């Protein structure tokens, strides 16, 4: 039996907008056993939490070297709803919302759409900061990705 692939993603921002970071825990699992794991992280000096959530998912999918079946697990309702529901209407409407306004973060939504087109993606949601080990690790990676852009003494949020 082939290992199942999972990507646990998270974004963080200190202020919104403000310095931000993203984190990904990529896992190949055989049942409950992790057979391979890889972690990714990054950040930007001025961004939003939603942009970091999108960037984490993009990084996860773009890190896969060949087409694959993967479950992306996020604690962002914005990301999950956007990619599973809203994006279809946005594309049909020329990247405009139902009230004909430009889609926020269109550049990242387009990039995510292209990245997921190579794969068979199942999108799953977990409650953030609820003790889910891989989600907590992705959050720690996101906060770490944000750290180089923060001023001393400022707080972080996931």
Residues labelled as active-site residues: 10-11, 53, 75, 129, 139
- HEC profile of the chain: CCCEEEEEEEEEECCCCEEEEEEEEEEEEECCEEEEEEEEEEEEEEECHHHHHHHHHHHHHHCCCCCCEEEEEECCHHHHHHHHHHHHHHHHCCCECCCCCECCCHHHHHHHHHHHHCCEEEEEECCCCCCCHHHHHHHHHHHHHHHHHCCCCCCCCC
């Amino acid at each position: 039996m082939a290992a199942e692939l999972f990507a646990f993603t998270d974004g963080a921002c200190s202020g919104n907008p403000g310095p931000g970071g993203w984190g990904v825990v990529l896992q190949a699992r055989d049942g409950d056993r992790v057979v391979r794991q890889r972690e990714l992280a990054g950040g930007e000096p001025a961004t939003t939490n939603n942009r970091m959530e999108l960037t984490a998912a993009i990084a996860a999918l773009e890190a896969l070297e060949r087409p694959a079946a993967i479950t992306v697990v996020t604690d962002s309702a914005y990301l999950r709803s956007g990619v599973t529901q809203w994006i279809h209407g946005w594309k049909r409407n020329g990247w405009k919302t139902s009230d004909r306004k430009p889609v926020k973060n269109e550049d990242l939504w387009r990039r995510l759409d292209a990245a997921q087109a190579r794969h068979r993606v199942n999108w799953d949601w977990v409650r953030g900061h609820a003790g889910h080990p891989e989600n907590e690790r992705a959050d720690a990676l996101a906060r770490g990705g944000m750290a180089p852009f923060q001023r001393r003494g400022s707080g972080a949020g996931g």
